A and B are shown apart, each in its own frame.
Chain A
Amino acid sequence: MPSGLLSRLDAPLLPIVAGLLVTFAVIPAMADDYWLSSIIIPTLVMGLAGIGLNLLQGYAGLVSLGSAAFMLIGAFSAYNLILRVPGLPLPLVLLISGLIAAAAGVVFGLPSLRIRGFYLGASTLGAQFFFEWLFSNFTWFSNDSQSLTISAPRLEILGYSLQSPLGRYFLAASVTVLLIGLAFLIVRSRLGREWMAIRDMETAASVLGIRVARRKLQAYAISSFFLGVTGVLWAFAYLGTSDAHTFNLDKSFQVLFIVLIGGVATIFGNFLGAAFIVLTPILLDRVVLAADLSFLGDQGALTNLQRIIFGAIIILLLIKEPDGLSALLRRARQAVRNRYAG
């Protein structure tokens, strides 16, 4: 088991990125616009959000219940940057929005220097409610629009428009490749290893000379950077129009579900978790339609039926698959390998 873990950590980065590039280049050939805009883009973006939280929670062992707050900061930062700084290229907008979210992450990560465990949830939950309130109460942030919504600006890179589903897909996919690469670099660097040391035994880590406080704040900063960039993509590449309540507590819990269902301390597991979060409601919709369950009640009742099933699946997954869906995948791969190596 330890050797398996090590080999996964040490696998060279280049093949991963190359594999991703090929996959992302092939996907548009197989998927139509509906698949791109309703399934693949949200899965990629939520998977990235999962990576953001997983860096903090899975690798550094710090709790956050307010991931969506940092996505929200990213989205509103990008909106205001594009609106108020004309001519700022999109990659820079993404970068700066991420950095603004990172700064907020450091502030709300400060209590982690004094407290540990579940109690940390209070601070990030505070961030969740505070920023939702801030961006819906001060209309300056949404350019004084009546509905308090922010709409996607014209997305373009070097003059190429990214307005079509395909364009938005390429935006999301290229950011995904870059951030996955960055995440792998981070978790394999000294920083990532020190996070894991702090997670596994903080006292020992500090005895070894790891600067715990600095590392924790870096975890909040980097996690929030990922979430901030993700927020921009969610608001502009996926939804188009959003407001502060797009990034509410439910969204934070979704990100948390993604991490737990996909697999704690994994990178690709987050995309499995995201696919689960995105696909389950769609599948449940289809099942309800196909099975013609309308005799059970009206639309409201069916929505609640879906809620019940979704909750039950989550409990079942937590019981049956403690290491998340990525463990399932790993076992399957191992089984195949054993059969053919054997």
Chain B
Amino acid sequence: MSFFLETLITGLFAGLMYALVAIGFVLIYKASGVFNFAQGAMVFLAALAFVTLVEHGFPFWIAFLATAALMVVVAILVEALVLRPLRNRDSLTLFMATLGLSFVIDGTAQFFLGTDVHMLDLGIDDIAEDYAGILISHFDIVASLIVVTLVAVLAIVFSKTRMGVSLRAVADDTLAAQSIGIRLPVIWRIVWSVAGLVALVAGLLWGARQGVQFSLSLITLKALPVLIIGGFSSIPGAIAGGLIVGASEALADIYLGPLVNGSVSTWFAYILAVAFLLIRPAGLFGDRDIERV
């Protein structure tokens, strides 16, 4: 039983990390209707830039702020060079453009910063502690506290500030928002910047876990089922979706894996997502109409 619980809890923590990547998607999807495949590349770029700065002797906060500034620059460039020329185009074209963008971003990151695998030490111990008979890693707990804090900050920013209200107006009705004087390019720049900052946090946590390397950009692929289960336009949905995917994936790997001769984690989440789609096409918390037949 305690083994089951341990697997479940490990899965939930992994799921929270998936959710962190998915939140970046949700922000951009809400504001611009773009499914941003480059989110993973942004996670990779942020982690690689940060770890390079730290290795060159910069203190944590300087490195963090410099990387954050870099992500803002990326957001401004993306808005000017990709989003603006492609506005009013269909979602598949925009998706393909972000696929091209992901090549540019991770290519640039590796061209300037190298292809080596870097170890990232955030100063949080990754040791398992015993909580009521269940082993839980200290790192997982700190990481999930960081995720919860980040989500709380985002929620406050989006509900209380002028910028947040403008963003929700754009997400709700783009045309009406524009007609009352909300400037779409500004909103896009801000949202992509915020998504970049979320990518930075995700990059640090993932990077500390599995090393900063190219495979970080592939976590994009884990985010799609999370988004389908949670709904593309809901941050609580992204978290719930992440937890569901993380937990069920971990359990399936342990209990289903041996029956079928190996790890099922590459595809299990997708089959789960399709099952969800068939039962509840808008996702758990999605509010935008899914095109249903």
Chain A residues at the B interface, C-beta cutoff of 8 Å: 57, 63, 111-119, 121-123, 125-126, 129-130, 132-133, 137-138, 202, 212, 249, 253, 256-257, 260, 297, 300-301, 304-308, 310-315, 318-319, 322
Contacts and interface: CB of A to CB of B under 8 A. Distances in A.
Contact of A125 (B85, B264, B270): B270
Nearest to B81: A315
A315 B293 contact: no
Given A126-B267, A126-B270, A319 B86 contact: yes
Interface of B: 35, 81-82, 85-86, 89, 91-93, 95-97, 99-104, 106-108, 110-111, 114-115, 221, 224-225, 228, 260-262, 264, 266-267, 270-271, 273-274, 277-278, 281, 290-293
A315 B100 contact: yes
Contact of A304 (B81, B91, B115): B115
B292 A118 contact: no
B292 A122 contact: no
Contacts of B106: 304, 307
Contact of A314 (B89, B97, B271): B97
22 contacts: A111-B277, A113-B293, A115-B290, A115-B293, A123-B270, A123-B274, A125-B221, A126-B267, A129-B266, A129-B267, A133-B262, A256-B96, A257-B99, A260-B96, A300-B115, A304-B106, A305-B111, A306-B107, A310-B100, A311-B102, A312-B104, A318-B86
Contacts of B102: 311
Nearest to A320: B85
Contacts of A304: 106-108, 110-111, 115
A115 B271 contact: no
Contact of A114 (B86, B97, B267, B278): B278
Contacts of B104: 307-308, 311-312, 315
B274 A132 contact: no
A318 B92 contact: no
Contacts, number: 140
B293 A308 contact: no
Contacts of A57: 92
Given A119-B228, A311-B104, A318-B97, A126 B111 contact: no
Contacts of A112: 293
Nearest to B273: A122
Contact of B277 (A114, A133, A260, A315): A114
Chain A at the B interface: SS class = helix
B247 to A, nearest CB: 19
A308 B224 contact: no
B29 to A, nearest CB: 10
A311 B101 contact: yes
Nearest to B292: A115
Contacts of B271: 126, 130
A301 B290 contact: no
Contacts of B273: 122, 126
Contacts of B293: 112-116, 202, 212
A265 B272 CA distance: 32
Contacts of A132: 266
A169 to B, nearest CB: 31
A119 B270 contact: no
B121 to A, nearest CB: 25
Given A256-B96, A310-B103, A311-B100, A119 B281 contact: yes
Contacts of B270: 122-123, 125-126, 129-130
A249 B224 CA distance: 14
A42 to B, nearest CB: 20
Contact of A257 (B35, B96, B108, B262): B96
Given A260-B92, A260-B93, A318-B86, 13 more contacts: A114-B277, A115-B277, A118-B91, A119-B228, A122-B228, A126-B267, A126-B271, A129-B270, A133-B266, A137-B260, A305-B111, A311-B103, A318-B93
A57 B228 CA distance: 21
B266 A308 contact: no
Contacts of A117: 91, 290-291
A135 to B, nearest CB: 12
A314 B266 contact: no
Return the 4 tightest CB-CB contacts between A and B, nearest first. A311-B103, A126-B270, A307-B107, A314-B100
Contacts of B264: 133
Given A114-B277, A114-B278, A311-B104, A322 B99 contact: no
B100 A318 contact: yes
Contact of A137 (B91, B97, B262): B262
Given A115-B291, A315-B97, A308 B274 contact: no
A322 B106 CA distance: 25
A335 B285 CA distance: 53
Nearest to A202: B293
Q: Which of B35, B91, B293 has the most CB of A within 10 A?
A: B293
B264 to A, nearest CB: 7
A115 B281 contact: yes
B91 A322 contact: no
Contacts of A300: 110, 114-115
A22 B81 CA distance: 44
A113 to B, nearest CB: 6
Contacts of A123: 270, 274, 277
Nearest to B104: A311
A257 B92 CA distance: 11
